[in-house]
Structures are given as C-alpha cells and as structure tokens.
Structure 1
C-alpha cells in the first residue's frame, strides 16, 4: 500500500505488507512526500532483510507499535494520538528511544508550557501542567510497551521528578440563582443542553453526542455505552429533563437529541449574559455533584452517578455537607422543581 494521509496527522503514514510477516503500519514522521517515500523504502528494506522492526527502535517504531497494538483501541485514542504526534515532533521521529534523557524531557516540558512546539504547520499553544503530565504519561506508556511487549531497551528516566506540580483540583459549581440566570440568558437549544448537564452530570461529549435510541422515556433512563472510563453508564431521567425531552414529538425522535449548532459560541454568550465569572461547561457536571451532595447523596452514590472509577475521585465533594437521602438524580431533579411544589413536598415529608 502506498504512503497515505491520516486524519488529524500532518505526516504521511505507511503500511507495509511482506509475505510471512505481520503488516507494519506507522507514521513516516515526514510531511514532505518525497522524504516520506524514502522512509517507507528504508523501513521495507530492513523488514525484507529479516528485521520486523529496526534493531534499535527509534521514536517512530516505538510510537507506531504502541498505537497499533494498544493506543488506538482506548477510549482516549484522540488524546493519545495527539500527544504522540507532539512528542514525536519534539524528540524527532528518528531519535533512538534509548537516547531520551531526563534533560530532553525537561526541555519538552518547558516548550510545551510555553506553546513553542510545532507539528507540521500547526503550533500548539500554552497548556496546563496537567496536560504536560498527560503527554509524559503517554510517553512513559509507549516506552514501557516497547520494553515489556517487544523487548526493546529503554532509558531509566526519573518519572516522578519529571512530573509537574499541578494546582489543586478546581471545583466551580453554580448556585441556584446563577443557574437560573444562565438558563434565562441561553439560546433555546443551549437551554436544553444545560438542563441535561445539570440533571445528569454527564460530560459534554456524552451529551452532545446523545442519540434518541439511547433514551427510554418510559423507564426514564439514558444509556451511555462507553464513558471516559470505558464502561457503560445508566443515567436516570429526572422530571425537569423529562419535560425538556418530551417537547420533541415522537416522530422526530431520530438521530441526535440536542441541537449543537454553534454550541460553543452560544454557551459562551449565555455565560456572559448571566454574568458568571470563571465558569465552564464542565462546571455543570460539578454543579450536579455538588447539589446532589448538598441534598444528601453519599459519595458512593455520586461516584456511581458520575461514572467515576473510584470514590477517591469523588472525594473532591466531601467537604460539602449532606442533609437528606435519595438518589443523586432525584435530588438534583427536586432542586429544579418549581419552589411551590418543593415546599409542598417538604411539608408532606415532615
């Protein structure tokens, strides 16, 4: 197969098939077609000479093996691919992996933080320490894979010391008044998405990608086949969200549930109109968890509702004082009911 372009990559990729040997796919690390063909020819020559991979692996072989064997099958495949491209651009596709040093990794950290790394014609801007640490985690994973699965020699790097210090996890959530103002200032299509986010705690990608076949209004459930943690998640539909979903006629419940047209601009406009400071879409997920905690949900319940892998991740909400019992979904839904209804329900409970 000739060299080809891969979506999301500025480099040419190669796919080499030799009878009796596994197919080899990987990046040439080159944006110039002529140079890419030379890399392809060199790689094929070495394979025909009896080497399934070059004896001393370079960045290109290491990353290609990790991607083909493992990375492309993960839920975070887009993040992995982007990080490997950036790492390859910095270290050089022809650099032998054994030659990677602590000093080179520290240079990478500095350039990544300063927004000085280019991949092809694209320059990546300044990123947070957590993003740098994620890149380093993928570098470590690729090197470890090359060593454990392919017997390649890898450098002994001081990973703990190379990890950048991260600020304490940011937890910003909306108060009821802020939530009301946000809804009032939002476009109708965004209002529905905001209600879905606050009543389910789902991530933005899950909500914007939601399709009608995942929704069962009769049983009041939403099924997410695969979350960030690569596991299915069942979400209960509370009355406020059911009312929003019910506005769509049964005959029109096909395809995407929500209209995401110009979503980013429309949400930003809603935040501005509401006068909210330092507020992002992901904060609606924090709002769900924080309101659930304030209404009495225990951490285990919130952990299940958010699809966290462990309660330790949910501990960021431990400082919020609970005072009632029910499921996380019911509590947030109750908070969004009209105040008159809430007072009647409260008096009956007493």
Structure 2
C-alpha cells in the first residue's frame, strides 16, 4: 500500500484496530515506510539497501515529520557511502552495562515496569563495579566474584537473589534486542535460601502496645489542635480545621494493614473507588500489586469501621500525600519509627504488619491456600513459611501412630 505518511494517516490508523498487518510506503520519500501491525504497535522504518532496514521508532514516540526527517538524513548518509545498519550494529556491540542501562533499558523500564525507575537505580548502585564492562565481556565469573564480596559483606542471600534477578532481566532484554548473542548469566544459579526462616510478627502483647501507642499519639495530636485553635481564637486568627477521630494517616494506615495484609505500596496506591464498604470488599489493582495480578480482599468489620471513620470519599487516594492531595503517600518512616519507640517494640518493620496479618490467620486455623489468596502470593511456597505456626496439626498427625 502507498500513501503519504503524515499525522492524518497516523490518526486514522490508531482510530480502530487493523484486520491484517500491512506496510505503507510513503509516496514522497522512497524507502520511508510505516510498518502497521494488528497488535497496535506501528513503527517507522527506512530501507537503506537490499534487505537492509533501520527502525526509526514507534508512532507513540515519534511524530511523522520527525520520522521523515530522520529517514531523509539516513538516506543522505547512504548516498555518501555510509551504512547505517552496520553502524547501529557496531554501536550495539559497543554498549557497556552502564550505557545500555541508561540509554536503552531505562526508557523501556520506566514505561513498562511498575517500578522501572527504582529498578534501574538499584541496578546502577548494586552493580557499580560492573558498569564499565562491555556487555559481551560480562561473565559468570565476574558475577560470582561480585556475589562472593556481597556474602562477605553480610548481605542476605534473598537480597542477592533479588538483585541478580534484576540484572538477569536486563540481560534478557539485551539478548532479545540483539545487543548480545547469548545470556552471560545462564549458568549462574541463585543462592539457596531458607524459605521458612524466622518470621517477625507481633505478639498479642506487642499488638496491644502498638494500638495503645497509636491511641496516645492520636490523643496528643487532637489536644495540640485544640490548644492551637484556642491560641488563634484569642488573637482573632482564622481557626484550623477540627481534627477528626484520626488526626492523620498513620493510625488508619497501620490498623488497616493489620486487618488486610496489604503491602505498604498497595496501601499507598489504594484509591477510594477501589473500595466497596457496602459489599465489604477491597480491590488491589494489578498495576499496583507486586504480582501484577488484581485481587479482591474481603474487609472485616474492623477494617470497614476504620475506613468509614477515615473517609469515605468518592475519588482520590485513600492515603494522599500531605503535600499534594492528588498524589499518593510515599513514606511514613519517621512517624513509624517514633511509634515503635513509643510502643517499646524493636526489630519490627512496617512490612512485618503483613506477617502479623498472615500469622494471626494461620494460628486461627485458616487454611494456607486461603491465606495465599488473601496475601496475593504467586506460589503456595511463599505462604508455607507460616505453616510452622500451627504445630498442633503436626502433633496430631504423629499422635495417630500411637496404638
């Protein structure tokens, strides 16, 4: 098919899905082609010789005129004796881990991965000693030396495995995009880890102290607001808004974590339309979940009470940023550490509230398969670390041997 490749044509192509794949050759510039696919991914290409093609970019990244200008530049360079295909191949082969990470992988990751920017930053920091190594020169031996140094530095095997998985994913893309012929870490095995280990969760006494510390903190904040308004009223200043049952986000956030088992990021990303208090159900959207899968979490009476007291609202984040209500909360580290100190609780992370949720369910006799569903675990293996919290089952099983 031939047509003039312009903004009108591109708009028409994106208006409805295509029935078949097709290539549209430009009527004004020989060799300039718009490659259209039923998947909806359309890209500009230029033919620089027999069987030689250079992909310029997709329609969502380049405007038609930008693609045309680049096609004209490449065709002019061919007329002067250059070979853009060979030059691009040589450039790909010359990539170091740093340049591939920054120039190629980062733009893709930021668009396609839920935590792309954080992943790129973590790879850059974790593998700093390898950043100036050319991609084809990366070897399993180098990575093993890196892993040995990490082990001597006291880094946990699970952390090392997570970092290695990030690097593996990057190198898989390098192979897929023809920057590497083969994956250099194909023979590097993950560290063996104790999947059950010791789980930190709140004892009944610690949970009581934590909730009491939350109550005391809320009382203090409410009293401070009353005192501030008395001072302002005496001087004729406008009064501050009255403090509600929960003066700020910390109390409802912590309490909801204990009753839903949501991850911190899932709580931060939660929006009011994701809640149905009448149906007593909460929806974790796939794009905010670690597994990438949407799941529905039932709300118990206490969780409903917490949310009704804190809200509800028609739109917006359940826990918005104090600085910008249109953005989600991003951190509670300072307030959380102060709360733990007030409750005299040590060695406990915010994520451990999720362990407390799961541990309480298991000790109450809830089946592990149900706990897995509530937590959103991809595999039952991840949930089995809580199995030891029901020693009565094992004791009952061996007791059957007694005749």
Fold conserved (TM > 0.5)?
yes
Contact kept, 8 Å, 1:198 with 1:287, in 2: the verdict is: yes
> Which residue, 113, 117, 121 being the options, matches 1:74?
113
> Which residue, 271, 283, 300 being the options, matches 1:223?
283
Match of 1:312 in 2: 381
With the length of structure 2 as denominator, give the TM-score of the two structures.
0.59
Q: CA deviation at 1:296?
A: 1.5
Equivalent residue runs for 1:26-105 within 5 Å = 48=84, 50-53=86-89, 54=91, 56-58=93-95, 59-60=97-98, 62-63=100-101, 64-67=103-106, 72-86=111-125, 89-93=128-132, 95-105=133-143
1:246 partnered with 2:308: yes
Q: CA deviation at 1:291?
A: 0.6
Distance 1:209-1:47 versus aligned 2 partners, 3 A rule: farther
Q: CA deviation at 1:111?
A: 6.0
Distance in 1 between the 2:44 and 2:98 partners? Answer: 19
> Which residue, 139, 146, 160 being the options, matches 1:108?
146
Larger radius of gyration: 2
Distance in 1 between the 2:112 and 2:121 partners? Answer: 15
Distance in 1 between the 2:183 and 2:298 partners? Answer: 49
Q: CA deviation at 1:89?
A: 3.8
Match of 1:135 in 2: 163
Q: CA deviation at 1:81?
A: 1.4
Distance 1:300-1:241 versus aligned 2 partners, 3 A rule: same
Gaps of 5+ in 1: 1-16, 26-43, 116-125, 325-350
Match of 1:144 in 2: 172
Q: CA deviation at 1:284?
A: 0.6
Distance 1:76-1:248 versus aligned 2 partners, 3 A rule: closer
Distance 1:157-1:203 versus aligned 2 partners, 3 A rule: closer
Distance in 2 between the 1:47 and 1:293 partners? Answer: 65
Contact kept, 8 Å, 1:295 with 1:323, in 2: the verdict is: no
Match of 2:365 in 1: 296
With the length of structure 1 as denominator, give the TM-score of the two structures.
0.67
Distance in 1 between the 2:151 and 2:134 partners? Answer: 24
Gaps of 5+ in 2: 1-42, 47-53, 59-76, 219-248, 323-330, 394-403
